[in-house]
Structure 1
Amino acid sequence: MKEVKSKSTPTEPMKPTPIGYVPIHYVEKSKSVQSNFFRFLSILLGNYYGSKSQEVLNRLLDEYRLGATRDGAVIFWQIDKNGKVRTGKVMQYNPEDGHRIKEQGVAINWIHNILKKQNVLPEEWLLSQCLFGEHLLSLYPDKVVVLVESEKSAIIGSAIFPNYVWLATGGKSQMKEDKLRVLSGRTVLLFPDADGYTEWKQRAESMTYCKAIVSDLLEKHATPKQKADHIDIADWIIIQIQEGKLMSTANHLVEAEKILQQMIEKNPVLQKLIDELDLVLVDASHIASDDKSPP
């Protein structure tokens, strides 16, 4: 008896999961300075920049599209490189010290979840996160990128050191290649939280698609208590401002730049190396100016 072979149906290639987007008008509608986080930011920058702080605050509001809810929570919108809105993270902060409120009943919320409950987005809508601030990459194609963990760190870092593009992963677990690939070809400085240096250093070794350097600032200089408190670069900058040491840090940058320039003058080969490696000297002199003028 002749064996009849069943015809196998060719396997169809899996279709990529469609990325869910949030209508852009929700970003525009939510734009506000009325969040407790923005209130803290206003006080912090007011103490640092004085009357010139409003210029910086306006830039941060516009560039990062900061929103607010009716109860004073801030909305950190995730907008990708194409200007598409992936979601918004809703968080409540203490307006006095800038710390996130983690009490029971004050959890992180997400705009896509809110819109699903309101039947604005379909139940099958799928979240695909991107880096916070990712949309700024196309706005500043030549700036060095600074990657941090929290959105708060990105905002405060950008406020004080605007010569960089400050982005945030949104969490230690969000250091994923599919999110980081957008950094291809860029020079990236990674500032992990005080408890994340080893993990981020290992992760950076696989980021071969960009020039990644991991900062050991907190690893080397944070106190044992600060490490136990899991401080991040935003906390460090705030401490430096409050203790009047940020100017000293900036002066060190300026001095380092002067020394490097002197080395270049004495050794032209060093300039050739800088050119070939596409290294950039960041002018830090404006940071150390006496009037703290926003760059």
Structure 2
Amino acid sequence: MNRIDDAMVEATMRGYDRNNLFAFVAAIIGSDEAQRLMEMYRVGTSKHWHGATVFWQIAADGNVRGGKIMLYDRLTGHRVQEPFPHIHWVHSVLKLPDFKLTQCFFGEHLLPYIRDKPVAIVESEKTAILATHYLPQYLWLATGGKCSCLNREAIQALRGREVMLVPDLNATDDWRKKLTLFEESEIKATLFESLEQMATDDQREQGLDIADFLIAEQTPHGILEQMMQRNPALRQLVDALQLELVGIEDYKPSESSLKSE
């Protein structure tokens, strides 16, 4: 047995009012957009820990490969690590007999439906969700771990797609080594290194990722343009990706904000 019933996934697609990750994401981009993205990526609510999230790994063929349960702090968006790392798997919690976990990319189920965008791969599921809001020109997938799905078998789902690897700080060298796998599988892949090049020593020590740069000030999406003016690193990031952030063209600063600058 290596798949989970679809009905189990559907049963978790509710209860966002008690989902800590949803609360964090909604505070940044709004409840409606947060729910749209959670539903799009099939992110559910788990009862295993109060406030927990379940990230379903659904393959391109629609098979539910597994569900990873994680607990986040609803205010900081950080994973809860004390008194122990709060991470578990649905098949282990339910004690499913003879279950064999074969992981796939988080968000892989979107590949057959979104064919006109290049694919960007990050480590964290949370990062894939937030990056989809800010940088929708890419289809964002997550490995669900430092190199979890960067293996020969898992990347076959990416054949025929243009791929950009976007590692966390301090993981760039490890992910660069994975480019050989893509080349051997005849998958066009590049490595986004601008984060590593622009980061400070403190940011590297924290192991920040692209989402941390995008939401550094946790301000509403509409004032990202002002954020980029105040934060050259964020502007450099956007320029390096050659992308436009959603909603920037609609932003009109108030007279009071202009006078204060």
Q: TM-score, structure 2 length as denominator?
A: 0.83
CA distance in 2, matches of 1:256, 1:72: 34
Deviation at 1:241, TM superposition (A): 5.4
Work out the number of aligned pairs and report it: 237
- Structure 2: distance between partners of 1:178 and 1:220: 31
Equivalent position to 2:164, from 189, 192, 201: 189
Q: Secondary structure at the match of 2:57?
A: strand
| Structure 1 unmatched ranges of 5 or more | 1-18, 47-52, 258-281
In structure 2, the CA distance between the partners of 1:85 and 1:193, relative to structure 1 (3 Å rule), is same
Give the greater-gyration-radius structure (CA). 1
Alignment partner of 1:228 is 2:228: no
Q: 1:45 pairs with 29, 41, 46, which one?
A: 29
Q: Report the residue type matching 2:27 in the other structure.
A: I
Report the Cα distance in structure 2 between the residues aligned to 1:210 and 1:185, rounded to whole angstroms. Answer: 7
Tell me how far 1:205 sits from its aligned partner. Answer: 3.1
Change (3 A) 1:141 1:213: same
Q: Is contact 1:194–1:218 with CA below 8 Å preserved after alignment? A: yes
Match of 1:20 in 2: 2
Q: CA deviation at 1:251?
A: 9.7
Instruction: State the secondary structure of the residue aligned to 2:68.
Output: strand
Aligned equivalents of 1:222, 1:178: Cα separation in 2: 32
Which residue of 137, 140, 146 corresponds with 1:163?
A: 137
| TM-score normalised over the length of structure 1 | 0.74
Task: Note the 1:91-106 alignment, pairs <5 A.
Answer: 91-106=70-85
Q: 1:160 to 1:286 in 2, by over 3 A?
A: closer
Mean Cα deviation higher: 101-110 or 128-137: 101-110
Q: 1:64 aligns with which of 41, 44, 49?
A: 41
For residues 287 and 211 of structure 1, what CA distance do their matches in structure 2 show? Answer: 30
Contact 1:87–1:111 at 8 Å: present in 2 too?
Answer: yes
Whole-Å separation in 1 of the counterparts to 2:69 and 2:241: 40
Give the conservation status (yes or no) of the 8 Å contact 1:250–1:285: no
Q: How many percent identity over aligned positions? A: 36
Gaps of 5+ in 2: 253-261
RMSD: 2.5
Deviation at 1:106? Answer: 4.5
User: Superposition pairs for residues 1-295 of structure 1, below 5 Å?
Assistant: 20-32=2-14, 33=16, 34-46=18-30, 54=32, 56-70=33-47, 71-116=50-95, 121-122=96-97, 124-174=98-148, 175-208=150-183, 209-239=186-216, 242=219, 244-246=226-228, 284=244, 286-291=246-251
Counterparts in 2 of 1:215 and 1:225: CA distance versus 1, 3 Å = same
Deviations 1:31-81 (A, max 9, x none): 1223100000000113xxxxxx62x22320221111112311011100000
- For 2:110 and 2:241, how far apart are their aligned partners in 1? 28
